[in-house]
């Protein structure tokens, strides 16, 4: 019979010591046990109020008070006094230790010093006495060992064998006589029969022995140490391994089962033994015995170890061989301990198709507000799973209001409305209630508010109708009766009606999603127009749109709705209704002024189409009425107060007045627009053109002045050009000073990037009506003020005009300014043009000086055109000395450029090392001077001489055979080989001495 070793239990009246919380180290009495984790306690004798406490926060004591369950405080005080609880608690060891610990904590430094000193003295005395006892014991043990060795070995072994014969668990065949090698281990276990290590050493020495001998030793060991976990575990593992591979019906399995049962008598609190036993039984496919063993393990083990058993237990019941009813019962017990594992239970139920229980568990989960999924599922996911199961297996589920459940989900989860509606319809389809399913689909199409949900429901609805048509068609092929044909025709007609209603239904959904969408309202009107015109629904749609749309939150132009509505009445010859629509729309507080101005324009256009010109002008006049006193209009003001600022409305008004009114009325409207600043540059230009057509020139110039005062650059650019053009065309040179003032005014305001056109107009004006020197002054000013990208062009024009009006001396001054002010790439081209001009006038020295000056910012590697032009110039007009000077300058400039990039110079030196030997070997070979070459090239040659490549360096020390031969001494050659640095020189004074007047 199984007997528990525990004597202390959580029970009514048990005295406990609180080990955690605000009442730590205080005693209390258990009044009631609430569940396996909590108890109701109270301790009025030491200030512990009546409260619920976790069992982990208390320690049980041997004391107990005789009280009833849930005793009151007075009854408890009487029981405490009758049991003399105060004295009994003070006598407890744990209380004494607690008091001693508290006393030690409250000691002073001197008291702790005295205690430590007394403790050292006591330890010295105890150590001395222990050493004496150890010495005496060692001497006695030595004598005993010598006497034991002298004894006969047979006398030692035989009693052991006799003892084994008396064992009830083994028979005579089980006993194995020890060998001579086992004698030392037999002596050890006989001396220390309660030592686990002695028995383990004995077993380790018998590893190679047969299992029968090892079993004999194990039985002797567990007889001496029945509660040794190590020996039992090792013994069970060996016996389990020994039967592995045999048939599960073999008798050896039963013997191992009995051995496990024997071990659990002593080791019932060891979960590892229970787990191994259960795993061993699972392998034997003994369902009932395994289940009972799991239940025994849960009873025997403390609740803190149950999770280890349940993990294996749930795997066992998930096997196909276990009956489903057993699994469900076990799972329900499991969920009482660990309710968070309900998802595993649901998965198992789905696996075995127990849909009724699945639905019940899912509903419980959804009703539990504290539930948290261990798989990361949300309530939304569980709802969808429940709806899928309800709609897919309606015949297997009883007692559940499926319709109410799914509809509550539709109201709760708005992002899955389409899917839930489809699930509800699918539920009725599975029950063959097709009319009810069709009603659900229609309700869904009329209630969904998003296009995504609509498309989901629509697809499910059309598939449902398709499947019904297909099934009916197959039935019609088998039974072509009149009733079936009629029913089939009705189904086809219903399906076609559904398809035709799809655009209108979708439009309704989109309007539910955003009722302020003007485009969708217009699409709805178009749906009622085509393919069948429905005037009543069109009017109703326009009316609903006007009532529904919020003007401040509208998407699109609300004015289009009113305009389309009025045009609809106009097209049907209901002019009065159209005017009523327009008049009512003019009172609406639109979001923007543009909407209201568009309505006024449409209203006026309708009157124009009806030939009511005066009424159209009156409508626009109403819309353009400005307040008598100007004030700041805030954003919250209605658009009617901002309407007079609409350029669109004023433009239409002035166009109509210009067409049907008088000159003075039109002029007054333009002036009113300028006064209110409701104009654009184009309106100013239109006004001036209108005045010009009517010969009001001074008023035109006044309008120009007003326009240029209203707009900054670049908006006023066209106005200035038109102003200046018309003014010059009107007066020519009659008002020079006024024209010059206008040009000065625009040049003081125009940005540099846009100023070139005005400088050119100014200079052209001076050329035609003013003085040439004034024109040159304008060109000079322009060359300094225009944008950098335009300066080069301006200087070219300046040079051209200077050459045309003043000749070469003035042109030289302009060239000089251009070279000084332009960037290097433009200054280089300007030097070439300057030198070419001097060459044409025969000023060779002056041209050469210009080339020398331009060489300072002309790198030979990038400015090949400059050096080629200079070389051609020297060939045509120079001599050997000037050509050498040009080459020397070129080398110097190139070296100076390379010094800026030392890496490039180093690479060039490395590339030219191989050419040094060839250059020295050819140093004394004759070289034909380029000037002499030009002379020889003019004479007929029998064979053409090869021209030197541009990439090859020109050599200057070759001997030329002509009349102009010059012998250069060695000193000059050495000077040429050295690097020559060009000094920074200013332009020679002789170059421009003739320019100074």
Kindly tell me if the per-residue pLDDT of 380 is higher than 80.
no
Q: Give me the pLDDT at residue 150, please.
A: 46
- What is the overall mean pLDDT for the chain? 80
DSSP string, 695-764: T-HHHHHHHHHHHHHH--TTTTHHHHHHHHHHHHHHHTTTTHHHHHHHHHHHHHHS-GGG-HHHHHHHHH
With a pLDDT cut of 70, the percent of the chain lying above it is 85
Give the CA distances from residue 355 to residues 330, 362, 429, in Å, rounded to whole numbers and listed in that order: 18, 10, 18
Q: On the CB side of 890, how many CA atoms lie within 13 Å of its CA?
A: 19
Kindly tell me if the per-residue pLDDT of 169 is higher than 50.
no
- Please count the residues of the chain: 997
Residues 6+ apart with CB under 8 A from 413: 380, 383, 384, 420
Would you call 303 exposed, middle or buried from its count of C-beta atoms within 10 A (0-12, 13-18, 19+)? exposed
Q: Edge-to-edge strand order for the sheet containing 48-54?
A: 48-54, 38-43, 27-33, 14-18, 58-64
484 preceded by cis ω (within 30°)?
no
DSSP one-letter code for 801: H
Q: Give me the pLDDT at residue 42, please.
A: 94
Closest CA to 892 of 858, 868, 921: 858
Contacts 24+ apart (CB under 8 A), 437-441: 437/464, 438/464
**In the structure, what pLDDT confidence band is assigned to residue 974 with cuts at 50, 70 and 90?**
very low
Report the C-alpha gap between 687 and 703 in whole angstroms.
7
- Provide the CA 550 distance to its chain's centre, in angstroms: 35
Which range (238-242, 384-388, 460-464) has the least confidence? 384-388
Q: Give me the pLDDT at residue 632, please.
A: 64
Give me the residues paired with residue 15 across strands.
29
The pTM (predicted TM-score) of the whole model is 0.54
Q: What is the pLDDT of residues 891-911, one digit of tens each?
A: 888 888 776 555 554 555 555
Kindly tell me if the per-residue pLDDT of 364 is higher than 50.
yes
Which range (159-173, 406-420, 490-504, 904-918) has the least confidence? 159-173
Q: Give me the pLDDT at residue 901, please.
A: 53
Q: Give me the pLDDT at residue 43, please.
A: 92
Report the C-alpha gap between 525 and 563 in whole angstroms.
13
Average pLDDT over residues 658-685: 88
- At residue 965, the 3 state secondary structure works out as coil
59: phi then psi, degrees, rounded to nearest 5: -120, 130
Q: How many helices (H) and strands (E) does the chain have?
A: 47, 5
Q: What is the pLDDT of residues 37-63, one digit of tens each?
A: 999 999 998 889 999 999 999 999 989
- At residue 958, the 3 state secondary structure works out as coil
DSSP one-letter code for 14: E
Would you call 209 exposed, middle or buried from its count of C-beta atoms within 10 A (0-12, 13-18, 19+)? middle
Q: Give me the pLDDT at residue 28, please.
A: 93
Q: Give me the pLDDT at residue 18, please.
A: 92
**In the structure, what pLDDT confidence band is assigned to residue 17 with cuts at 50, 70 and 90?**
very high
Q: Give me the pLDDT at residue 32, please.
A: 92
Query: For the chain, which domains are there?
Result: 14-106 (2.30.30.30)
Average pLDDT over residues 218-238: 89
- Provide the CA 870 distance to its chain's centre, in angstroms: 65
DSSP one-letter code for 176: -
Average pLDDT over residues 215-243: 88
Q: Give me the pLDDT at residue 630, please.
A: 65
- At residue 39, the 3 state secondary structure works out as strand
**In the structure, what pLDDT confidence band is assigned to residue 176 with cuts at 50, 70 and 90?**
low
Please, are residues 679 and 673 in contact by the beta-carbon 8 Å criterion?
yes
Kindly tell me if the per-residue pLDDT of 477 is higher than 90.
no
**In the structure, what pLDDT confidence band is assigned to residue 31 with cuts at 50, 70 and 90?**
very high
Report the C-alpha gap between 927 and 326 in whole angstroms.
117
Higher pLDDT, 227 or 954: 227
Average pLDDT over residues 11-16: 92
- At residue 531, the 3 state secondary structure works out as coil
- At residue 38, the 3 state secondary structure works out as strand
- At residue 432, the 3 state secondary structure works out as coil
**How close are the terminal C-alpha atoms of the chain, in Å?**
141
Kindly tell me if the per-residue pLDDT of 850 is higher than 80.
yes
Would you call 692 exposed, middle or buried from its count of C-beta atoms within 10 A (0-12, 13-18, 19+)? middle
Q: Give me the pLDDT at residue 987, please.
A: 43
**In the structure, what pLDDT confidence band is assigned to residue 146 with cuts at 50, 70 and 90?**
low
109: phi then psi, degrees, rounded to nearest 5: -60, -40
Report the C-alpha gap between 582 and 576 in whole angstroms.
10
Give me the residues paired with residue 720 across strands.
none
Give me the residues paired with residue 517 across strands.
555
With a pLDDT cut of 90, the percent of the chain lying above it is 6
Please, are residues 476 and 438 in contact by the beta-carbon 8 Å criterion?
no
Report the C-alpha gap between 818 and 782 in whole angstroms.
12
DSSP one-letter code for 27: E
Q: Give me the pLDDT at residue 934, please.
A: 35
Q: On the CB side of 984, how many CA atoms lie within 13 Å of its CA?
A: 2
Of 38-42, 165-169, 342-346, 564-568, give the range with the top mean pLDDT: 38-42
Please, are residues 932 and 962 in contact by the beta-carbon 8 Å criterion?
yes
**In the structure, what pLDDT confidence band is assigned to residue 634 with cuts at 50, 70 and 90?**
low
Would you call 432 exposed, middle or buried from its count of C-beta atoms within 10 A (0-12, 13-18, 19+)? exposed
Average pLDDT over residues 226-244: 89
Kindly tell me if the per-residue pLDDT of 305 is higher than 50.
yes
Closest CA to 418 of 406, 428, 429: 406
Average pLDDT over residues 398-402: 76
Task: Output Rg (C-alpha) for the chain, integer angstroms.
Answer: 58
């Amino acid at each position: 019979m199984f007997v528990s070793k525990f004597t202390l239990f959580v029970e009514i009246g048990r005295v406990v010591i609180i080990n955690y919380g605000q009442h730590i180290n205080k005693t209390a009495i258990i009044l009631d046990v609430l569940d396996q984790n909590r108890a109701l306690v109270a301790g009025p004798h030491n200030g512990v109020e009546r409260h619920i406490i976790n069992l982990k926060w208390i320690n049980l004591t041997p004391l107990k008070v005789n009280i009833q369950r849930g005793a009151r405080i007075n009854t408890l005080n009487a029981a405490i006094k009758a049991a003399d609880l105060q004295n009994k608690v003070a006598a407890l060891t744990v209380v004494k230790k607690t008091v001693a610990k508290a006393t030690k904590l409250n000691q002073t430094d001197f008291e702790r010093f005295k205690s430590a000193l007394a403790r050292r003295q006591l330890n010295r005395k105890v150590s001395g006495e222990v050493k004496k006892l150890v010495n005496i014991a060692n001497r006695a043990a030595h004598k005993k060992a010598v006497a034991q060795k002298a004894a006969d070995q047979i006398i030692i072994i035989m009693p052991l064998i006799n003892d084994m014969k008396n064992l009830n668990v083994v028979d005579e065949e089980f006993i194995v006589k020890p060998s001579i090698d086992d004698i030392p281990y037999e002596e050890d276990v006989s001396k220390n029969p309660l030592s686990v290590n002695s028995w383990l050493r004995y077993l380790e020495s018998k590893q190679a022995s047969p299992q029968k001998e090892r079993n004999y030793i194990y039985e002797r060991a567990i007889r001496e140490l029945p509660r040794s976990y190590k020996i039992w575990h090792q013994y069970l593992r060996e016996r389990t391994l020994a039967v592995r591979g045999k048939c599960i019906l073999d008798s050896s399995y039963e013997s191992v089962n009995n051995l496990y049962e024997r071990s659990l008598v002593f080791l019932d609190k060891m979960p590892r033994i229970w787990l191994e036993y259960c795993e061993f039984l699972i392998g034997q496919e003994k369902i009932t015995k395994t289940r009972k063993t799991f239940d025994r393990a849960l009873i025997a083990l403390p609740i803190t170890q149950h999770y280890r058993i349940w993990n294996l237990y749930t795997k066992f019941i998930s096997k196909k061989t276990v009956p489903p009813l057993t699994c469900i019962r076990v799972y329900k017990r499991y969920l009482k301990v660990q309710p968070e594992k309900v998802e595993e239970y649901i998965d198992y139920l789905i696996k075995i198709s127990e849909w009724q229980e699945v639905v019940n568990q899912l509903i419980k989960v959804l009703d539990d507000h504290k539930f948290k999924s261990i798989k990361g599922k949300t309530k939304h996911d569980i709802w969808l799973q429940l709806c899928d199961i309800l709609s897919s297996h309606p015949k297997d589920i009883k007692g559940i209001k499926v319709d109410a459940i799914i509809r509550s989900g539709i109201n709760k989860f708005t992002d899955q409305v389409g899917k839930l509606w489809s699930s509800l319809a699918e539920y009725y389809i599975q029950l063959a209630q097709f009319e009810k399913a069709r009603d659900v689909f229609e309700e869904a199409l009329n209630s969904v508010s998003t296009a995504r949900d609509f498309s989901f429901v629509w697809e499910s609805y059309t598939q449902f109708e398709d499947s019904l048509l297909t099934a009916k068609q197959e039935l019609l092929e088998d039974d072509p009766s009149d009733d079936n044909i009629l029913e089939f025709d009705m189904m086809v007609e219903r399906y076609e009606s559904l398809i035709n209603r799809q655009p209108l239904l979708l439009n309704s959904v989109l309007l539910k999603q955003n009722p302020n969408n003007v485009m969708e309202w217009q699409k709805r009107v178009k749906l009622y127009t085509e393919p069948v015109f429905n005037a009543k629904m069109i009017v109703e749609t326009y009316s609903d749109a006007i009532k529904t749309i919020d003007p401040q939150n509208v998407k699109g132009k609300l004015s289009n709705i009113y305009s389309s509505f009025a045009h609809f009445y106009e097209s049907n010859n209901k002019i009065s209704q159209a005017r009523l629509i327009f008049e009512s729309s003019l009172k609406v507080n639109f979001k923007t002024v543009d909407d209201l101005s568009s309505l006024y324009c449409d209203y006026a256009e309708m009157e124009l189409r009806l030939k009511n010109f005066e009424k159209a002008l009156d409508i626009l006049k109403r819309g353009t009425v400005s307040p008598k006193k100007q004030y700041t209009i805030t954003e919250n003001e209605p658009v009617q107060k901002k309407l007079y600022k609409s350029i669109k409305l004023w433009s239409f008004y002035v166009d109509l007045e210009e067409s049907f009114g008088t000159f003075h009325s039109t002029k007054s409207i333009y002036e009113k627009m300028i006064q209110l600043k409701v104009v654009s540059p184009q309106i100013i230009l239109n006004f001036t053109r209108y005045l010009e057509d009517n010969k009001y020139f001074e008023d035109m110039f006044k309008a120009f002045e007003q326009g240029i005062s209203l707009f900054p650059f670049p908006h006023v650019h066209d106005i200035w050009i038109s102003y200046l053009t018309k003014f010059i065309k009107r007066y020519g040179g009659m008002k020079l000073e006024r024209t010059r003032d206008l040009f000065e005014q625009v040049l003081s305001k125009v940005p540099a990037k846009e100023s070139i056109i005005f400088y050119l107009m100014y200079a052209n004006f001076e050329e035609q009506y003013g003085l040439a020197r004034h024109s040159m002054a304008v060109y000079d000013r322009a060359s300094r003020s225009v944008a950098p990208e335009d300066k080069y062009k301006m200087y070219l024009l300046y040079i051209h005009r200077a050459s045309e009006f003043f000749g070469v001396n003035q042109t030289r001054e302009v060239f000089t300014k251009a070279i000084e002010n332009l960037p290097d790439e433009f200054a280089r081209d300007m030097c070439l043009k300057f030198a070419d001009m001097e060459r044409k006038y025969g000023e060779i020295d002056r041209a050469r000086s210009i080339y020398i000056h331009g060489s300072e910012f002309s790198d030979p590697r990038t400015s090949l055109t400059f050096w080629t032009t200079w070389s051609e110039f020297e060939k045509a007009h120079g001599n050997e000395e000037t050509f050498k000077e040009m080459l020397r300058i070129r080398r110097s400039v190139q070296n100076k450029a390379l010094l800026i990039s030392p890496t490039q110079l180093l690479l060039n030196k490395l590339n030219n090392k191989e050419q040094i030997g060839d250059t020295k070997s050819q140093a004394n070979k004759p070289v034909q001077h380029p000037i002499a070459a030009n002379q020889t090239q003019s004479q007929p040659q029998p064979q053409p001489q090869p021209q030197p490549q541009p990439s090859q360096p020109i050599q200057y020390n070759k001997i030329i055979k002509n009349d102009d031969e010059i012998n250069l001494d060695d000193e000059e050659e050495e000077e040429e080989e050295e690097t020559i640095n060009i000094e920074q020189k200013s332009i020679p004074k002789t170059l421009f001495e003739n320019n100074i007047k």
